Structure 1
Amino acid sequence: MTREVRLAPIGEHNLEPLLSVAVAETEPDEVMPPVEAPAGWSQARRDAFREFYRANFGGLTGPTGNLMYAIIQDGDVVGMIRLGRRAEPGTLETGMWLGKSTRGQGIGLIALRLLLAEAIEAGACRVVAETRSDNLPALNLLRRCGAVFCEDGAAIRAEIRLGVNEAPAGAW
């Protein structure tokens, strides 16, 4: 079965579908920073989710330096993937989440490959990700995209070189 997977910048038009997937198929700490609120997907956490994602609408040149995309599979929002500015010239950071029903189907790999193409378009020469040594699905996904790993205890930094020249001084 062929699946169409594409990325769409997150905006008001897809924020509520993204929240719906998050509420139905994730825990709050998987998809947003911690907030002081009742446990689970309380109204306060839903509001904080919206605020967090809206704060990132500005993209790489905006105040947060993050460009967030909805991962769309066969027309439905199934998760999020992002690029974020880093202090290192020519380097962007990524992170992603998928709803539980779409994990393990290759969607994350397709989304990451699409995101790497976006990073090249943005002028990056490398993309990094940070995860934990026990997050085997993320490590396998990053490895399949050519990541090199550096361990620091349970913390892992993955680096994917994009095969473009080093960025000029002062990039980002």
Structure 2
Amino acid sequence: MGETAPVRLLRVDEDVLERLLHTAVTDAEPIDVMPPVDGPPGWNTRREEAFRAYHRARREGLDGPLREVTYAIEAGGEVVGAARLEHREPPGTPGVLEAGVWLGRSARGLGIGTAVVRALLAETAASGAATMIAETTAGNAAAVAALRRLGASLTTDAPTGQVHAELPAVP
């Protein structure tokens, strides 16, 4: 594998949001990048507006009412996906943030996911949380491998194939 382009996490303002939406529409399926929206499959105006609303609602960040922040992932100057961190403990209790990541199809398998998880760990530490968790499936070999490479403690629920990962936050 060649050298991975530098990865940056960008807070999602209106300009970044439009770049992120473009990546989602051209390089991902709606179900891979956002909560479900009723209607026929595929991208449409209703899903695009729901995508925008989802990210706008999280602009206040970890201290906002949703206690979640989203970032656009930039690699090689292009927005290639999104990442999020969300509190998983009661308000006022530091400790655990859950991470989520999606990458457009063209950005997968390039080492970007591992770099993003590293960046999310740094954000987790900066927030004062001690632990970052992530959920994936055993079938998502790339995500499992990235988490394993970074030293995650992995627990697999054999009947469902769900994989739970825990990583200590590092400054």
TM-score when normalising by structure 2? 0.90
Q: Which amino acid aligns with 1:121?
A: A
Query: Could you tell me how far apart the structure 2 residues matched to 1:10 and 1:97 are?
Result: 15
Counterpart of 2:25? 23
Query: Could you tell me how far apart the structure 1 residues matched to 2:69 and 2:121 are?
Result: 13
RMSD: 1.5
Counterpart of 1:96? 101
Q: Which amino acid aligns with 1:138?
A: A
- The answer for unaligned runs of 5 or more in structure 1 is 165-172
TM superposition outliers: structure 1 runs of 4+ over 3 Å = none
8 Å contact from structure 1 (residues 38, 44) kept in 2? no
Query: Could you tell me how far apart the structure 1 residues matched to 2:74 and 2:28 are?
Result: 17
Q: Which amino acid aligns with 1:147?
A: A
Q: Alpha-carbon deviation of 1:106? A: 0.8
Q: Alpha-carbon deviation of 1:122? A: 0.7
Q: What does 1:1-172 align with in structure 2 at a 5 Å threshold?
A: 1=3, 3-87=5-89, 89-152=94-157, 153=159, 154-162=161-169
Seq. identity, %:
46
Query: Could you tell me how far apart the structure 2 residues matched to 1:122 and 1:53 are?
Result: 20
Distance 1:150 1:41, change over 3 A: same
Distance 1:146 1:58, change over 3 A: same
Q: Alpha-carbon deviation of 1:162? A: 2.5
- The answer for unaligned runs of 5 or more in structure 2 is none
Cα deviations across residues 38-77 of structure 1 (Å, max 9, x unaligned)? 2100111111111111111110011111111111112211
TM-score when normalising by structure 1? 0.90
